[in-house]
Chain A
Amino acid sequence: MIVMTMENEQEITVAATIEQIPVISDFIEHLMSLADFDSRKIMEVQLALEEACTNVAKYAYPGKDGTIHIVARVHGDRLELIIEDEGTPFDPTSHTVDLSQDDTKDRPVGGLGIHLIRCYVDRMSFEFRDGKNVLTLVKKKA
């Protein structure tokens, strides 16, 4: 369900499942297009958001259903995304992945998502607040 709260702010709540990724991608594409972000920046944010939401879908609610709540807000040349879930506490900002191995067999298969979030946003911060994981991502227009 998408809710318009202010002119430059929208929020959406979806089930925490992989199947909802296209809904989330369409949601952010629409908002960023209205705010005149170029198509490349939109794709970068879609990737960061997909990675963040995939982590929630896969790990936040083991054995039970849950939701992801996203608030997207544009302030001037900045997009701020607040991604909340009520699942298992998990701070993605505390995780790093070693990408130095050139040999395929030594390369870990996981951990790439958090690395990609870092690559494609200008700021990433986390807090566990009122029983919720709250991940904030910021992307500048230029």
Chain B
Amino acid sequence: MDINQTSIDNVPIVSVSGRIDGNTYQDLETILNELIDQNKSDIVLDLEGVVYISSVGLRVLLATQKKVRPRKGEVKLVSLQPFVREVFEMTGFTRLFSIYPNQGEALRGAKL
């Protein structure tokens, strides 16, 4: 798994590629927790390059969402690939996250 971190207008954008599984989830968890510690509210998570996610990855995303919600923030997901989207649908996660086709749409209305 590769993770690339940028920001636009002070909104963090985390782009992930590869597999988010039991062996890699901690790298993503570390980066998301760092953003929480920096008091970020909205986080854009671009999953265009992610072909596989297991429950440990889902837990990281849910835990992050639970942390930013009280700040009126949101984890915004971008570009879910077919298998990942199906896993989200199977687990009801599509109801817990806003999902956008591209980063531009996700950034529209994001809080600084």
> Which residues of A pack against B, CB within 8 Å?
18-19, 21-22, 25, 40, 43, 46-47, 50-51, 54, 57, 99-102, 104-105, 107, 109-110, 112-113, 115-116, 119
Contact = CB atoms under 8 A, between A and B. Distances in A.
A46 B69 CA distance: 32
18 contacts: A21-B23, A22-B21, A22-B23, A25-B21, A43-B51, A47-B54, A50-B22, A51-B54, A54-B22, A57-B22, A102-B92, A104-B66, A105-B69, A107-B96, A110-B59, A112-B59, A112-B91, A113-B54
B63 A54 contact: no
B36 interface: no
A54 B56 contact: yes
A51 B83 CA distance: 16
B91 A19 contact: no
A58 B83 CA distance: 25
Interface of B: 21-23, 51-52, 54-56, 58-59, 62-63, 65-66, 69, 83, 87, 90-92, 95-96
B54 A54 contact: yes
Contact of A99 (B21, B66, B91): B91
Contacts of B59: 109-110, 112
Contacts of A109: 59, 62-63
Nearest to B83: A43
Contact of B92 (A25, A47, A99): A99
A107 B62 CA distance: 8
A46 B54 CA distance: 9
A30 to B, nearest CB: 16
A18 B58 CA distance: 16
